[in-house]
Structure 1
Amino acid sequence: MSAAREPEYRDGHGFIVEVIRTRRRKSADIRVEEGAVSVVVPLDTPVEKIDQLLASKRSWVREKIALHQEAVPVRAKRYVSGEAFSYLGRNYRLKVETGNFAPVKLTNGRLLVTVPAGAEQPHIVRNALVRWYKRQAEQKLQEKVTRYAPMVGAHPAGVSVRSFKSRWGSCTAKGAVEFNWQIMMAPTRMIDYVVVHELCHLIRHDHSQAFWREVERVMPDYQQCRDWLRANAAKLVFDAP
């Protein structure tokens, strides 16, 4: 298995673009998802060509970002130094520095992000944080699925991270499991429960007594986890007022 590539970013002048290089594409594709911008390009695409593409699509990207900002509710967060963000059940203070954009780092008990100075700074900070949470989710949820799948007796076809409005996970018709990246704000044991819950759905596709017996067999304390998530769900929304 090859080592994961370091994240690559370009300054789009008003927004930050994540560059995703892949052998599976022969042409470039710009995406704006949840206000975060990414460009998927063939593996050997030079940065000059990427910058040219971004310059030609800058108005379109800004329009998409503006539409996203209008669609989301008014946020309680301002994405400034000192604000607290939960990760694995513990609060960490945000520290924003000005300079060349750098991905979020969890260091010395703080979430550190370096962004260019400018009017769009809060927007860039938010997207940097969302990207960081998603990256952590991709890694840790894959590890947990690998750990729990043999205990459950399930064989998931894949693991992916998504944005869900009102649920923590889901199973696809093809037998893959999907998880809401915002579960990374919950304590580790709650994440374990969500993973076991979805893996058990690969065996039992309902919420029958037989399903809950499967969950209990792997997690005898599942009911406490289930109750905790119900009681705290509103706190685990990234932009909660």
Structure 2
Amino acid sequence: MRTVLGAPEYRDGNGFIAEVIRTSRRKTADIRVEEGAVSVIVPVSTSIEKIDQLLLSKRMWIKEKMALQRDMATASSKQFVSGEAFPYLGRNYRLKVECGPFSPAKLLQGRLVVQTPEGSQQPHMIRNALVRWYKRQASLKIREKVKRYAPIVGVEPAGVNIKTFKSRWGSCTAKGELEFNWLIMLAPNRMVDYVVIHELCHLIHHDHSPEFWREVMRVMPDYQQCREWLRENSEGLVV
């Protein structure tokens, strides 16, 4: 797992906002575009000037990647304007859009507050800010739940990672690492519990055998209701 130092930094890439992640685990820079959100992972001592030069040199590639991901993204009816509701762990929170320099989304007084510059790219930047916020919450909340339920299941995962999956909520790798789809944060809290318990149980049984389901039921007797809810509502869990 990478070591990330300090608070997040953001750079304006002229049409996109890049999150700067400084890490002691890298000797070279790396640019990633996930869900249309741009991240640049750099060694700790990398200067802002060098980061800006890198983003400028890769601007065309970044824009092409963002456009491709927008075309492939699951259709959403959201317009990313103030007043729209976004679900988080079973509750809806109204979006509040403020104009100004880009800053991370925050949950303040029952509202999801996003600050971005005005312009044609604003809806896209607002979505990026919300995706980043959901991913941060997923990283915090899911790790808390893994820590809570792992002793009950009687296992210890090798690691916990947050991913983007198209058709599943989680996975258990051959190395014993658990991976979770950040979109589960749009579901009620109990559904997140179910997904965490489900993947933890895969550390004991790597299939969906009767023994596996008995283990899930031992920890979560109402798991079938959660499983059914996700089957019926998964298509609506999009940002």
Note whether the superposition's TM-score is higher than 0.5.
Answer: yes
Q: Does structure 1 conserve the Cα–Cα contact (< 8 Å) formed by 2:28 and 2:43?
A: yes
The equivalent of 1:188 in structure 2 is: 189
Q: Deviations over 1:137-188 (max 9, x none)?
A: 0111111001100100112110001111111111101111111100001111
Aligned partner of 2:191: which letter? M
Count of equivalent residues: 237
C-alpha displacement of 1:136: 0.5
The equivalent of 1:37 in structure 2 is: 38
In 2 relative to 1, CA 96–170 (structure 1 residues): closer, same or farther, beyond 3 Å? Answer: same
Residues 1:213 and 2:214 aligned together: yes
Output the CA distance in 1 between the equivalents of 2:187 and 2:105: 19
Output the CA distance in 2 between the equivalents of 1:125 and 1:149: 35
Q: Deviations over 1:170-221 (max 9, x none)?
A: 1101111111100001111111111001100110112122111111111111
Aligned partner of 1:76: which letter? S
Output the CA distance in 1 between the equivalents of 2:189 and 2:136: 16
SS for the counterpart of 1:144 is: helix
Structure 2 unaligned regions, length at least 5: none
The equivalent of 2:96 in structure 1 is: 95
Report the TM-score, using the length of structure 1 for normalisation.
Answer: 0.94
SS for the counterpart of 2:60 is: helix
Q: Does structure 2 conserve the Cα–Cα contact (< 8 Å) formed by 1:14 and 1:118?
A: no
Output the CA distance in 2 between the equivalents of 1:27 and 1:175: 28
Output the CA distance in 1 between the equivalents of 2:27 and 2:4: 22
C-alpha displacement of 1:3: 9.2
The equivalent of 1:177 in structure 2 is: 178
In 2 relative to 1, CA 148–34 (structure 1 residues): closer, same or farther, beyond 3 Å? Answer: same
Aligned partner of 1:89: which letter? G
Report the TM-score, using the length of structure 2 for normalisation.
Answer: 0.94
RMSD: 1.5
More deviation, 23-32/183-192? 23-32
Output the CA distance in 1 between the equivalents of 2:46 and 2:68: 29
The equivalent of 1:111 in structure 2 is: 112
The equivalent of 2:150 in structure 1 is: 149
C-alpha displacement of 1:73: 4.7
C-alpha displacement of 1:104: 0.3
C-alpha displacement of 1:229: 1.6
The equivalent of 1:233 in structure 2 is: 234
Residues 1:75 and 2:76 aligned together: yes
Structure 1 unaligned regions, length at least 5: none
The equivalent of 2:64 in structure 1 is: 63
SS for the counterpart of 1:161 is: strand
Residues 1:131 and 2:93 aligned together: no
In 2 relative to 1, CA 152–4 (structure 1 residues): closer, same or farther, beyond 3 Å? Answer: farther
Identity %: 69
More deviation, 198-207/225-234? 225-234
SS for the counterpart of 2:176 is: coil
SS for the counterpart of 2:208 is: coil
Output the CA distance in 2 between the equivalents of 1:163 and 1:11: 24
In 2 relative to 1, CA 205–64 (structure 1 residues): closer, same or farther, beyond 3 Å? Answer: same
Output the CA distance in 2 between the equivalents of 1:191 and 1:44: 38
